[in-house]
Chains A and B, each alone.
Chain A
Amino acid sequence: MNVFRFELRRAWMGAAVWTLVLIGLLSGLITAALPAFLESRTGVENMLANFPPAFAAAFGMQMDNLFSFAGFYAFGFLYYSLFGAIMAASIGLDLFSREKRDKCMDFLLTKPRARSRVFCEKLLAALTLILASNALFIAASLALYYAYAPAPLMPERALLAASALLLTELVFLAIGACAAVFARKVRSVSGTATAIGFGGFILSALHSILEEEKLRYITPNKYFDAAKAFFDGAFEANYALTGAFLTLALIVAAYVRYTRADIPVL
C-alpha cells in the first residue's frame, strides 16, 4: 500500500482546500440567504395574485417545492457541482498523470509492483480523498438541514440529496483519470481540470436552456439530481444508471490502457 500512502500524502492538501471552499459556499449560502428566501414566499404569493389565475395555478403548484430547504439546496447545487467537478477531475488528473508529468514512469514501473496493483492503489487513494471530502460535505449538509429545515424532517432524503455531489464527483474523477491516462502529455492539472469542470457546467446550462431530455444523457452534472432526491426520495434511474455505467466504462478503459501501454522513452 506504499503507492496509496504516497499518493495520499502528495494530494491531500489540494482536496482539503477544495473541501473547505465547498463547505464554505454551502454554509455561506444557506445561513446567509435561506431564511430570507423562505420569507420571500409571501411576496411571491402576493405577486401571483395579480397574474391570470391559470398562470398562477400552474406555478403555485411548485411553490411548496421551491420555497423549501430542498428547493434552495438544489438551487445551490449548480455551483457545488461545478466546484466538485473541478476538484474531482483534478484529483483524477493529478494522481494518474503524476509520473507522466514528472517524466518518471520508468521509476515507478520498474519497481516490483504489477501495473494493475499500481493503478488500483492510485484509484483507491483518489476514492479515499473524494469520500473523505464528501463525508465532510454530507455532514455539513445534514447539520444545516437539521438547523434550518422546517419540520417534518426527512434526514434520509437529505442524505441522499447530499450524496448527489459524491456521485457526480465520481463521474468526474473517472473523466479526469481517463484523460490523464490517454493524454500523451498533461501540461497543467488545474488548467485541464477547470476546462473539464466548465465543460460540464456548459452542458448543464445548455440542458437547462434547451430543455432537451436526450441532452441530459451526456450531462454529468445532471445524472444525480439533488432536487429529485429530496422530493421523490430517489434519483431518476435511467440517468443514474447512465452515470454509473459511464463511470465504470471510463475506469475500465483507463485500467486497460494503464496496464497495457508501452512506456516511451521520455
Chain B
Amino acid sequence: MHLIAKEFKSGLKPFLFWTLGLFVLIFAGIVKSMGAMAEGQFMTELIGRFPRIVIAVMGMLNVDISSFGGYYAVLMQYIFVLAAVYASHLGSSAVSRESIDRTYEFLFTKPRSRSFILAHKMLATMAFLTAFSSLNFVFSLLAVKQLTLQGDYSGVFARFSLAIWLVGIVFFSLSAMFAASFRAAEHGARAGNLAVLGAYAIAVGYDLVEQPGLLRLVTPFRYFLQTELITGAVSPLYAGLCLLLSAALLAVAFARFERRDLGAL
C-alpha cells in the first residue's frame, strides 16, 4: 500500500496541472456557450458551406453548435486530446519512472514480483485518470449551473466523461506498452506522444472521407462519435473494444516488463 501512496504523492503535481487546464477550459467554454449559441444557427449554416476538410480540421463535423449539446461536443474535442496526452504521460511514467530516477534497484529488489509492483503503480496512476474523467463530469455540472438552460444535461456529461475515460485507458495502456518495450525511457514516452498525435490526425482523416469504414477502428478518438454521445448512449460495442484493447496492451506491457533488463534509461 506504501507503493500506491507514494505513487499518488509523486503524481499529484502533474495531476493538478492537468486538472487546472480541464477546469479552465470547461468553465470558460460552458459559461461562454450562451453567446456562441445565439449565433449558433448562423455559424452552423456558415460552417456547413465550408469544404469538408476545413470542418474536419475544426472538429465540427456533424455537430449543431446552435444546441448546447453540439457546442459541448466541440468543447469536448479538446478535452479528449487533453485526456489522451495526460493518459499517455501517466502510462509511460508508471512504467519507467524508476528507470529515469535510477532508483529501480531499490524498488525491484524488494520481495515482490515486478508485475505486482507495476500493477500497484498502475492502479494508482489509473486512479488519476479516473479522477480526471470524473472531474470532467463534476466541472461540467457546476459550470452549466451558471447558465439558465432548459433540460437536464447530466446524462450527456456522464456519457462524455465515460467516453473520455475509455479512450484515456487505451492511450494509457498503449503508452505503458511502449514504455515497457523501448529500452530508453525517453523513446517510450516519445512513442506514446506521437501515437496521440497520429491518432488525432487519423481522426481528422476519418471525418474527411465520406465512407471511413474500418478507419474508425484505428483511432480511439472516433470510437465514440459526438452525435452518438449527445443523443444516444456510449456504444457498448466500442466500450467493450476499449476495455479489450487496453487489456491486451497491458498484457503485452506486463509481459515485456517482466522480461526486460532493468537499467537506467
Contact = CB atoms under 8 A, between A and B. Distances in A.
B9 to A, nearest CB: 15
Interface in B172-224: 185-186, 189-190, 193
Given A43-B49, A47-B46, A195-B17, A188 B28 contact: no
Interface residues of A, number: 33
A229 to B, nearest CB: 21
A36 B57 CA distance: 14
A191 B28 contact: no
Interface residues of B, number: 34
A79 B57 contact: yes
A255 B5 CA distance: 37
Contacts of A79: 57
A202 B19 CA distance: 12
A64 B22 CA distance: 36
B199 to A, nearest CB: 14
A71 B27 CA distance: 29
A210 B49 contact: no
Contacts of A29: 53, 57
A40 interface: yes
B32 A37 contact: no
A233 interface: no
B193 A190 contact: yes
Contacts of B97: 187
A242 to B, nearest CB: 20
B186 A189 contact: yes
Interface string A9-35: 000000000000000000001001100
The binding surface of chain B is classed by DSSP as helix
Contact of A205 (B25, B53, B54, B193): B25
Contacts of A206: 24-25, 28
Contact of B185 (A44, A76, A188, A194): A188
Contacts of B45: 47
A39 B21 CA distance: 38
B32 A198 contact: no
B106 interface: no
A191 B82 contact: no
Interface in B108-154: none
Contacts of A191: 89, 92-93, 189, 193
B201 to A, nearest CB: 9
A107 interface: no
B53 A187 contact: no
A51 to B, nearest CB: 6
B191 to A, nearest CB: 9
Interface of A: 29, 32-33, 36-37, 39-40, 43-44, 47, 51, 55, 59, 75-76, 79, 103, 185, 187-191, 194-195, 198-199, 202, 205-206, 209-211
17 contacts: A29-B53, A33-B53, A47-B45, A47-B49, A103-B102, A185-B101, A189-B186, A190-B190, A195-B14, A195-B17, A198-B21, A199-B21, A202-B78, A202-B82, A205-B25, A210-B28, A210-B32
Given A75-B54, A198-B85, 17 more contacts: A33-B54, A36-B51, A37-B50, A39-B51, A47-B49, A51-B42, A59-B46, A103-B102, A188-B89, A188-B185, A188-B189, A198-B81, A202-B25, A205-B25, A205-B78, A210-B32, A211-B32
